[in-house]
A and B are shown apart, each in its own frame.
Chain A
Amino acid sequence: MFEAILNGLGGLLAGFQSLDWRSLVMLVVGSVLLYLGIKKDCEPLLLVPIGFGCLLVNIPVADIMGKEGFLRVIYSMGVDTELYPLLIFVGIGAMTDFSPVLANPVTFLLGAAGQCGIFLTLLLALGLGFDKLDAVSIGIIGACDGPTAIYVTSKYAPHLLGAVSVAAYSYMSLVPVIQPPIMRMLTTDRERKIVMGSVAGQVSKTTRILFPLVMTVLGGLIAPKGLPLLGTIMLGNLMRESGVVARLTKASENEIANIVTLFLGLSIGATMAGGAFLNPKTLLILGLGFVAICLDTVCGVLLGKVMCFLSGGKVNPLIGAAGISAFPMSARVVQREGQKYNKKNFLLMHAMGANAGGQVGSVLAAAVMLSVLSGMGVIPH
């Protein structure tokens, strides 16, 4: 009987006995993510489930990511199948008003410039010795778009999913800290004070309905490998703009997006097991992610300067910084910076155009990237 009691007590101690330093470090990392989400309000919808998933997967013996573990079931259901990021895209499309970019279509170009960081970081990652598909997944952090990063990484470099996702969401929430110094460094005082006129008129409902259709067909023909990304965001937007499926639109932007966000966050956290996450590569990925977002901002502002020159000083180059996918956070940063130098300057709607362009741009850049990879035979046709 004494032996049975000892064995029973041994069962209660098994977790402590199997705890190694990696698990301990990751328990701290999970707690930091929870702290950032709960106390600092940094992307709480994702950081809370990611942080908690990280805690769960690093508690030994429970084997929660084992073959029959509940996190494994959630992971297989939507990450292996790539369903979660796509469902989130339907919600994003349903939530996003693309009118600002449609009112001033030239801002689509700022949305393209804001994706330069993806390709430049890919080059850097290759230079640092990462494999081709690993480098692609690291570069995609520069899309500044969580679901896009998750879609590409889960498909082509699933072993990097935890690091890439954490980098993507962390830096997205740090956009108000990362962008302003770069914007100030690249622009002159005179450029920052440029007052832009009002945004050119409103957009008809027909144009707003035609936008997702044209984008799907044109983007799909140019970059068919990325059609799932483009198609889902545009489906959500078509539902929103058509106005005839209000129930589906609401479900997409609320219930579906919320449930999927929870599952996706837990799944990402589940990839953060100490043994796999704690290696020098993770630190490199976090560093490269930071570089990617800085390069996006640099290229956006530089194109803004070109547009300023070509328009004879009518475009404030600061709006170029909003050509990334962090919507509408980046546009707000531009508005705040503009007002610091000229209280009468209202750049928000112009920046929203660039920001909406950045949202389309990030999805399109990923789609183009996948099709180029397929064309080169790096991924299957």
Chain B
Amino acid sequence: MEMDKVTFGITMLICGMGGTLLTLWIMSLIMGVLRKVFPYKEEKEN
């Protein structure tokens, strides 16, 4: 049976926006950890 438009729209909003937010939140955590593990060292970078 084909999904109605309301179900489709709400699912897209929850899963789509939720998925985007969750992925970017995980990315922000990972990048935060990577920044600590590999800190900027001026002489090395230059």
Contacts and interface: CB of A to CB of B under 8 A. Distances in A.
Contacts of B16: 118-119, 122, 365, 368-369, 372
B31 A205 contact: no
A116 to B, nearest CB: 6
Contacts of B29: 105
A223 B23 contact: yes
Given A132-B8, A203-B35, A372-B11, A109 B45 contact: no
B9 to A, nearest CB: 4
B19 A115 contact: no
Contacts of A357: 24
A152 interface: no
A361 B20 contact: yes
B8 A204 contact: no
Contact of B31 (A105, A112, A369): A105
B17 to A, nearest CB: 5
**Main SS of chain B's interface residues?**
helix
A109 B28 CA distance: 8
A207 B9 CA distance: 38
A203 B23 CA distance: 21
A107 B32 CA distance: 11
Nearest to B29: A105
Interface in A79-121: 102-103, 105-109, 111-113, 115-116, 118-120
Nearest to B39: A204
Contacts of B17: 112, 115-116, 119, 365
Interface residues of A, number: 50
A28 B11 CA distance: 41
Interface in B1-46: 3, 5-6, 8-13, 15-17, 19-21, 23-32, 34-35, 38-41, 44-45
A106 B27 contact: no
A202 B21 CA distance: 25
Nearest to A136: B12
A364 interface: yes
B8 A102 contact: no
A361 B6 CA distance: 25
Contact of B24 (A206, A214, A360, A373): A360
Contacts of B6: 126
Contacts of B20: 112, 115, 361, 364-365, 368
B19 to A, nearest CB: 4
Contacts of A122: 9, 12-13, 16
A119 B44 CA distance: 44
A211 interface: yes
10 contacts: A118-B16, A126-B5, A201-B40, A204-B39, A214-B30, A218-B27, A222-B19, A357-B24, A360-B27, A369-B12
Closest 3 CB pairs of A and B: A105-B28, A368-B19, A206-B38
Given A105-B29, A112-B24, 6 more contacts: A103-B35, A108-B27, A116-B17, A123-B9, A368-B16, A378-B3
